Structure 1
Amino acid sequence: MLIVDQSVLDDIGRGFSVPAQPKLLLELLKLMADTNPDINAISKAISKDIAVSAAILKTINSPLYGLGRTVTDIKMSVNYIGIYGVVMLVTGSLLKKSFDPKSCSIDLEDFWQITSDIASAAMLIGQRYKPQIVNDKFFSLGLFHACGVPVMAMKYDDYQELLDKALTSPELALTAVEEQHYSVNHATIGYYVASSWRLPKDVCQIILQHHERDFLNVLNGTQGQDLFAVLKLSEQLISLKHSDCASADWPYVQEKVCKILAIDEDTLEILVTEFTDSQ
């Protein structure tokens, strides 16, 4: 397991504009820490933030969840997808609100669209191929896996140029290109953000290692490798959908990802068609 030295995390905290854990999320975590969490109190706390509440209801009423009826308030949301599921949606909404587009050197609207699509794909693939894992983990991993990118784009004016450069050298993982140029990478920063926002530890660990192309070289049947495999397939499908080209890491992990998820070439082609044709 890759472990980040505490001094590195301290440097990130001092050198980058890392979004602090929002008060709403802190309040929710305290409420959830009770032996018997009060659904009414949790729903009331969320409902006080109108923008977050609207985003949650929009997501839950989307085809992604496939509910048989329209959910009209936060308490209904909690009853339908559970406290943890709603809190993960709240977390994602708060994350997007934490970055100022005017201070960022990348197009945040495009970034969040792609990241949200990856999170949605991860949920669907997780439900289908790894149903034994709590599905909300796939959503939070998909949404947070690249959250270090906007943090870096807030600090470095030339970050978009680096992303463009990375496309011309796919033999190097994006994190390696970042390390060469900035001596830090978005995976480490993403780990810092996810940890400070108290995401599950295994999700944080995969965020840290999600560009390690040798992560699946020795299959061990762990949940971490399952999470990694679902994320990598999701990245590939959404990359094909948005840019009609494979994700940079895919050629290095494809064989092992398909083995973990028990997907053959025909099934993979069906998945590509399913996701690239979706709206």
Structure 2
Amino acid sequence: MNIDKGLLASLEDDEARKLTQLMDQGIRIPPQPRVLTELARLVTSGVDDVRRLAATIAEDPGISALLFKAVQSPVFRAHQPFTSVVRILQVVGVSQTTNLVRAIALSAGSAGGKGGQQMPALEAFWARSRAVAQIAMLIAEDRVSVCNIFPDQAYLAGVFHDCGVAVLMQRFPDYCKALRLDEPGHWPNLAEEDQRFSADHSVVGFLVARHWKLPEFVCDAIRYHHDFSRLEDHSARTMIAILQLAIHIYALNSALPSPDWAANRGEVADELGIHDEALAEFIDVILERYQEH
């Protein structure tokens, strides 16, 4: 895949250099599956017949199955159970369902890897990403009147936020080995791993997000999700706050370290409009709702 020159121009010099080197080494940006491109084409052209849209989604049984799993979230509890893709489109909405399908298609399509040895690590990686996405969706639902970030957008960002890791794993077998993602109770310091491989998983993830035509503010949130200070756009900063809190809650639930939390806790609370003294209680509420799922 050739790098979009406009994309390179939007990166800092060091980021552009690293990305060019990685592309020269053969990293592969996962293509959008045909079902997703056809669904996006229909939606963009104004097709609103939910039966036709549902039939397109149903052409991929794997994506359909994961879509049903995604809408089991407490976010949609008032409308459960969902008995058909048509019903999901009617209740969740066409554009919102398309966002869910886009996120699901990435994780479903990137789970194969090269060779069987990577399968457990990739499966564990995407399971974590979907869990973070589910938590992000709960946070967005609760704070939507304050933050104007919707659950489907948060789910999309949650699945995509570390997708650059999966791309690097599929190209560099030692990256997969070093991360030990298939070991229960282990999650690495990705900044250290990026240094080891002269890579930047956030910039690679940004490239994937741009290639998959995610909203610009979601792309920016993926690029800077480890560093609030480099971003001024309010929507992207709010999405980063949702991601940071979702990652922290996932870590609490999994008894894992949360290395970014101490540095970002205050900004997360500010962006989400939560008083510092109320943050712990809010975390408990979201964690309880997630554990009910």
Q: TM-score, with normalisation over the residues of structure 1?
A: 0.84
The percent identity for this pair of structures is 27
Runs (4+) of structure 1 moved beyond 4 Å? 5-14
Equivalent in 262, 276, 279 of residue 251 of structure 1: 262
Say which SS state the counterpart of residue 65 (structure 1) adopts: helix
Pair 1:107-2:117 in alignment: no
Aligned equivalent of 1:272:
283
Equivalent in 174, 194, 210 of residue 195 of structure 1: 210
Equivalent in 4, 13, 18 of residue 11 of structure 2: 4
Cα pair 1:105 1:159 within 8 Å, conserved: no
1:137 is displaced (CA, Å) by: 1.2
1:40 is displaced (CA, Å) by: 2.9
User: Which sections of structure 2, spanning at least 5 residues, go unmatched?
Assistant: 1-8, 181-185
Q: Per residue, is there more helix in 1 or in 2?
A: 2
Paired with 1:254 and 1:62, the residues of 2 have a C-alpha distance of: 26
Aligned equivalent of 1:59:
70
Paired with 1:41 and 1:124, the residues of 2 have a C-alpha distance of: 29
Paired with 1:226 and 1:129, the residues of 2 have a C-alpha distance of: 10
1:39 is displaced (CA, Å) by: 2.7
User: Which sections of structure 1, spanning at least 5 residues, go unmatched?
Assistant: none
Say which SS state the counterpart of residue 107 (structure 1) adopts: helix
Aligned equivalent of 1:158:
174
Equivalent residue runs for 1:227-242 within 5 Å:
227-242=239-254
Say which SS state the counterpart of residue 226 (structure 1) adopts: helix
Pair 1:225-2:237 in alignment: yes
Equivalent residue runs for 1:74-153 within 5 Å:
74-98=85-109, 99-100=111-112, 102=116, 104=118, 107-131=121-145, 132-153=148-169
Distance 1:221 1:18, change over 3 A: closer
1:113 is displaced (CA, Å) by: 2.1
Paired with 1:105 and 1:75, the residues of 2 have a C-alpha distance of: 32
Say which SS state the counterpart of residue 71 (structure 1) adopts: coil
Aligned equivalent of 2:183:
none
Paired with 1:12 and 1:78, the residues of 2 have a C-alpha distance of: 39
Paired with 2:128 and 2:198, the residues of 1 have a C-alpha distance of: 26
Cα pair 1:104 1:150 within 8 Å, conserved: no
What whole-Å deviation, never above 9, does each CA across 1:104-133 have from its counterpart, x for those lacking one? Answer: 386223222221111111111112123322
| Aligned-residue CA RMSD (Å) | 2.8
Aligned equivalent of 2:79:
68
